[in-house]
Amino acid sequence: MTKPLFAPLDIYHDIASRAAALNMAIDEALLEIATGPVIRFYKWDHPALSFGYFGKFADVANHAGQRDVVRRWTGGGIVFHGDDLTYSIVIPVSSGFFAESPKKIYAAIHSALCHALKENGAAAALAPNNSSKISDLCFANPVLADVIVNGRKVAGAAQRRTRRGLLQQGSIRDVDHTDEFADQFASKLCSKCYHKTFDERLIARAHEIAEQKYGAASWLQRR
């Protein structure tokens, strides 16, 4: 059993299926306003693809006709969305855990995820360091502290650190889990979890960010 990372933790089960640009914008809006640690679980309104801030649009352009393509604010590689369990974690600068290094935060969150997967019968473990890159596909390249099951990557994430706090966006796939798994994962992060719902102001702010940033060709095709 890992030691809880947060006390307390707000949980948002975003049951609405949303466009890729709006999903990214909600995560950024949460980072703007969060006063304590937050985890959000969310869905996609149709098959999507996200790629990292430093990625090249040319590498994903051929998918634009079949998927909702969006550039993330976080780093990392190409991730296909639709059947995965997607989450974001916001750690505001006021949280004590923010003082830890990004690598330690990454590993600690994935360690909690491993424990939740083990409770569901999966032989989950943290990946050792692997410097070899197979492709630009995120799930083809386990890196240090990614989650693997039988040598296969099932969970990865990417981060963005700002003066407001840290945003980690993650994806879990190709592993069996129950409908209650999201709450199991959250409970490994914190022993005092509180379920929240979005207010209209946050969603309105997210729509602004989506229009100005994630839904704009200038952002999508900036590289």
Give the pLDDT score at 2.
59
State pLDDT tens for residues 176-209.
888 899 999 999 999 899 999 999 999 999 999 9
How buried is 204 (Cβ within 10 angstroms: 0-12 exposed, 13-18 middle, 19+ buried)?
exposed
Peptide linkage before 4 cis (omega within 30 of 0)? no
Q: Region 43-61: what's the mean pLDDT?
A: 95
Give the pLDDT score at 133.
53
The answer as to whether 203 is a domain residue is: yes
Q: Are 157 and 76 in contact (CB under 8 A)?
A: yes
Q: Region 118-127: what's the mean pLDDT?
A: 93
State pLDDT tens for residues 203-216.
999 999 999 999 99
The answer as to whether 153 is a domain residue is: yes
The answer as to whether 1 is a domain residue is: no
The answer as to whether 215 is a domain residue is: yes
Rounded CA separation 90/55 (Å): 23
State pLDDT tens for residues 70-98.
999 999 999 999 989 999 999 999 999 99
Q: Which pTM was predicted?
A: 0.93
The answer as to whether 2 is a domain residue is: no
Quote the tokens at residue 92. 């505001």
The answer as to whether 183 is a domain residue is: yes
In this predicted structure, the answer to whether residue 131 has a pLDDT above a threshold of 60 is no
Q: How many structural domains comprise the chain?
A: 1
Give the pLDDT score at 142.
84
The answer as to whether 156 is a domain residue is: yes
Q: Which domain holds residue 84?
A: 9-220
- The winner for highest mean pLDDT among 41-45, 191-195, 215-219 is 215-219
The strand order across the sheet containing 79-81 reads: 68-71, 48-51, 79-81
Q: Which residues on adjacent β-strands are paired with residue 71?
A: 51
Rounded CA separation 14/197 (Å): 8
The answer as to whether 55 is a domain residue is: yes
CATH of the domain at 169: 3.30.930.10
In this predicted structure, the answer to whether residue 100 has a pLDDT above a threshold of 50 is yes
Backbone angles phi, psi at 117, to 5 degrees: -65, -40
Q: For residue 114, indicate whether it is catalytic.
A: no
In this predicted structure, the answer to whether residue 68 has a pLDDT above a threshold of 80 is yes
Q: For the chain, give the percent of residues with pLDDT over 90.
A: 81
